[in-house]
């Protein structure tokens, strides 16, 4: 990188931080509000339901380290459920190896997820969460395979696999 570009890069950092602060008010809550009242659990109730790792992903929008989930290599037929409330989210037929290190799907079960935009990495990303309990699952990108062209990049810790 030449000197000019380096300097430009260092000017960009404060500008981006300012933008991030400006966008902060429209940043959403750590986890989305659920649509079903039954799943309006308190922080303590969620903590007692989930492992600390799953709590971090589902309720605090965390991301597990790549290539750490056993579900990454799960190739059996079955259904992937929300680890928070057990709602079925993805079918094994729609899972594929994206090479990213996270379980990836090109489509979700209709009505099972909802999306919103987050600014965690400054650049807007589309976060998605379970439509029933609001638990954070992952992010969806437009570089997936046909027919949808979508890549649902999911945290394995947010899922529970039920083989057929
Ligand atoms: Zn759920």
**Kind of pairing, strands 159-163 and 88-91?**
unpaired
- Given a cut of 60, whether residue 1 has pLDDT beyond it is no
**151 Cα–ligand 1 center, Å:** 20
CA of 41 to the centre of ligand 1 (A): 12
Distance 18 CA to ligand 1 centre (A): 34
pLDDT at residue 48 greater than cutoff 90: yes
Can you give the pLDDT at residue 119? Answer: 84
Centre a 10 Å sphere on the Cβ of residue 59 and count the other Cβ atoms it contains.
22
> Residue 92 has what pLDDT?
98
Instruction: Report d(CA 33, CA 135) in Å as an integer.
Output: 8
Model pLDDT for residues 68-80, shown as the tens digit of each residue: 999 999 999 999 9
Give the residue numbers marked as catalytic.
Answer: 153
- List of residues 6+ apart from 59 with CB closer than 8 A: 30, 31, 43, 46, 50, 84, 135, 136
Ligand 1: centre distance to CA 10 (Å):
41
Question: What band does 23 get if pLDDT is binned at 50, 70 and 90?
Answer: low
pTM: 0.77
In sign, the C-alpha dihedral spanning 117, 124, 26, 60 is: positive
């Amino acid at each position: 990188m030449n000197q000019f570009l380096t300097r430009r890069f260092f000017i960009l950092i404060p500008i981006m931080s300012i933008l991030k602060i400006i966008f902060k008010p429209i940043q959403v809550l750590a986890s989305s509000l659920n649509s079903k009242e039954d799943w309006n659990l308190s922080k303590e109730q969620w903590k007692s339901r989930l492992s600390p790792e799953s709590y971090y992903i589902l309720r605090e929008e965390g991301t597990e380290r790549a290539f750490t989930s056993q579900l990454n290599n799960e190739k059996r037929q079955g259904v992937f459920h929300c680890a928070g409330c057990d709602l079925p989210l993805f079918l094994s037929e729609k899972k594929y190896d994206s090479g990213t290190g996270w379980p990836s799907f090109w489509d979700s079960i209709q009505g099972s997820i909802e999306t919103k935009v987050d600014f965690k990495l400054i650049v807007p990303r589309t976060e998605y969460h379970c439509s029933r309990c609001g638990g954070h699952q992952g992010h969806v990108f437009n570089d997936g395979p046909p027919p949808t062209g979508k890549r649902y990049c999911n945290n394995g810790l947010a899922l529970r696999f039920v083989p057929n």
